[in-house]
Structure 1
């Protein structure tokens, strides 16, 4: 029997919807049937399934597994845990060929969805649309798959801790660190990890609660770091780290309470990496600070700007064999001595390791990053069809005028004042603007340039739209 998904839930990078409105158990069952069909046609027979701590996740997981089994694929169920634990299981269990995590990621509590991986690569873009086509036509294989439960949490945590191999216990014992799990799925793994680590560790909100009673688990929003900042200040800690709802985004604050944004963390990781692997290519997304790309060059690395989106970053890293990549949103992917996927818990471990190997505190590393003035993502509504045309028009005008334009993902324009970016959102009827300069006056001039280009295409920056 065919199934049609709500048009809004098959996003660019994952499947996401509002439970009871655009997403429910029937959708989960259909995702299972479509993915199982894809897996079997690729020669596979088993996939690993995990879930986050949202209230709706157990029901969606049951329906998903039933769909997988109905199309003849076996499900290895690893239970509650962060999305990177699902990625770890897919990468290391010899008898699985793919994986699905039931997760709403950093979205509100009434949202949920699925992150999917096949053969070590994320399933996104056209491949997600293909799952929708299989469901819409009922082009599903039939079968009688089985399911079993396996515990991989211990092995996963051991692998996280292995990121500190070779670093002296004395050096590690000096650290005093704050951790905020945000009541998300990373909590149990974080508790076990910090029990293995030397040093002093102060934990917040590790009890998994899908209603997120303390604060929303998205560390890219500064107010969600208030509790962590307060903990670091009250306990005089060296730094603090925070995770999103499914543990694949990292946020951090230093001892002075300054936020260390995703591209700034990537600068620290890059400095550590390039002392060990000189000349490496490091991938950053098109929204990242120009300071990141300049810093990588200064350190002797090869900066590589790529499209925004964790799935796109991971796939491009694998294609070009880059050992490190990440984006503004706190997705950081390590392929040197790890598996190439985004794992915020592992990123926290590597931040400790970087501080030791570089011989400087996290606060000093953050303080060495040049200060610039930039906007957040300025998101405003534009018709879903028109948004792409506007970007094309702006790009064509600027290129004809001889401007310095990088068209890899929208339009990134470099001027003597700094740079600005215009791109169409892959998941909403929204245009996104971001700009960066050395000072406020330069930033204002950049935004005047942006507005002039938008006006020529008949649009303007209207009321801000949430992500």
Structure 2
């Protein structure tokens, strides 16, 4: 068993190298043991469209049933459909076998037990359980049954979301598993859909299934330029994240999408909490307050965000991450769902009048506040060194006339922008992001962080 596959938010590795069928079977046995000790009887399993998905799901199921826990196999579905099934079937427990946006040779496991999304010590605890041999083998093994839950998910979504008028849209699934549902959802909502790469193909022959990277949105931008589509939606490999492109080719990043969703939801939930991660724009918190909400900055990571949503409870109506994970907790069930987020976006945009140039739809999106910002900057560090550097930075680097937030690394908000440095939970890098109202402010903030890092870690290759 290779420890490196046990990440902060999930289990992930290269199939047949670090993530083998034997390893996945053992992980299933450990998960089943943990479930059995919690008094849980059933777990939902689903998989994305990767070539290794079916055999890894089968190995996982074999391990789980050894512990006497039953498996409900919902087949090849988007990760949000697995989350939905754990709610609908009241198991609270499930695993999505998915490599998400990683290269084709990768796969992984996103896990829930008893309503808790596993992260951190809960994931490393599975490794410790396997190494110690602390695995329960039941006298009577669990049973595996299959269930087609996708139609139930589709009906629930279509009952919830209603468009004010039909829309013309473009949809890019990046050959990910979102293709089994996205086109049907949007057509049944009344949309005319231009499809891009909506056939599921684990080779990902067209582009990488990651809408957070602007390079992967070029095809969608071209389609919007050459057709009468009003807006473009893009999904990652397992469809739990959303990317959006306007008619004029602008990328509306998820922190700005969160503004639009917060504004809409807060109309009927005044005073409610809206959660966002530390990478989001400095314009987001004031926007939430302006529209009657209570902003709450939290840690990056889908598992951490869902845990915070669960902690805050019904008072938190929405959460958004810069990565594109968007969580609706007003009419939906608080899990990250790119397909549902896309539908809710169209519900808002459909209130704008239709025109051949999509003028009003584009205006609504482009007018959302934004600063000048950097993409996510990664600075390589030695394994395990990142948290230490961030702690040194917090202790020794001082900022005048600024608000300091240490909820996730160190975020420093100035009157005209912010800087962030945090240690990645998944790879040995420091993650930095900067935003300001103008280029001069951006360079000033970057220089303060650059000087600080060079002072405490002179060997770092700081190139920003």
Look up the match of 1:211. 203
Deviations 1:403-430 (A, max 9, x none): 5210100000122441100101111111
Q: Judging changes above 3 Å, is the alpha-carbon distance between structure 1 residues 78 and 320 closer, same or farther for their aligned structure 2 residues?
A: same
Look up the match of 2:297. 305
Q: Judging changes above 3 Å, is the alpha-carbon distance between structure 1 residues 178 and 369 closer, same or farther for their aligned structure 2 residues?
A: same
Look up the match of 1:154. 151
Look up the match of 2:217. 225
Q: Are the equivalent residues in 2 in contact too, given 1:395–1:405 (CA < 8 A)?
A: no
Quote the Cα distance in structure 1 between the aligned partners of 2:71 and 2:390.
Answer: 43
Look up the match of 1:105. 100
Deviations 1:214-233 (A, max 9, x none): 11100000010111111112
Look up the match of 2:461. 462
Q: Are the equivalent residues in 1 in contact too, given 2:256–2:369 (CA < 8 A)?
A: no
Quote the Cα distance in structure 2 between the aligned partners of 1:91 and 1:332.
Answer: 18
Does residue 317 in structure 1 map to residue 309 in structure 2? yes
Look up the match of 2:121. 126
Look up the match of 1:68. 64
Runs of 4+ in structure 1 off by over 3 angstroms are 356-362, 398-403
Residues matched between the structures, number = 455
Look up the match of 2:37. 41
Look up the match of 1:344. 338
Which consecutive unaligned segments of at least 5 residues does structure 1 have? none
Quote the Cα distance in structure 1 between the aligned partners of 2:42 and 2:241.
Answer: 27
Look up the match of 1:137. 132
Q: Are the equivalent residues in 2 in contact too, given 1:100–1:117 (CA < 8 A)?
A: yes
How big is the alpha-carbon RMSD for the aligned residues of Structure 1 and Structure 2? 1.8
- 3-state DSSP of counterpart to 1:35: helix
Which consecutive unaligned segments of at least 5 residues does structure 2 have? 354-358
1:163 pairs, out of 147, 160, 165, with 160
Q: Are the equivalent residues in 2 in contact too, given 1:106–1:217 (CA < 8 A)?
A: yes
Quote the Cα distance in structure 1 between the aligned partners of 2:360 and 2:119.
Answer: 38
CA shift, 1:400, in A, is 8.7
Quote the Cα distance in structure 1 between the aligned partners of 2:175 and 2:317.
Answer: 31
- 3-state DSSP of counterpart to 1:8: helix
Q: Are the equivalent residues in 2 in contact too, given 1:451–1:461 (CA < 8 A)?
A: no
Q: Are the equivalent residues in 1 in contact too, given 2:298–2:407 (CA < 8 A)?
A: yes
Deviations 1:304-336 (A, max 9, x none): 110111111111112112110010000000011
Look up the match of 1:84. 80
Q: What TM-score do you get using the length of structure 2 for normalisation?
A: 0.94
Look up the match of 2:194. 202
Look up the match of 1:172. 165
Quote the Cα distance in structure 1 between the aligned partners of 2:338 and 2:212.
Answer: 13
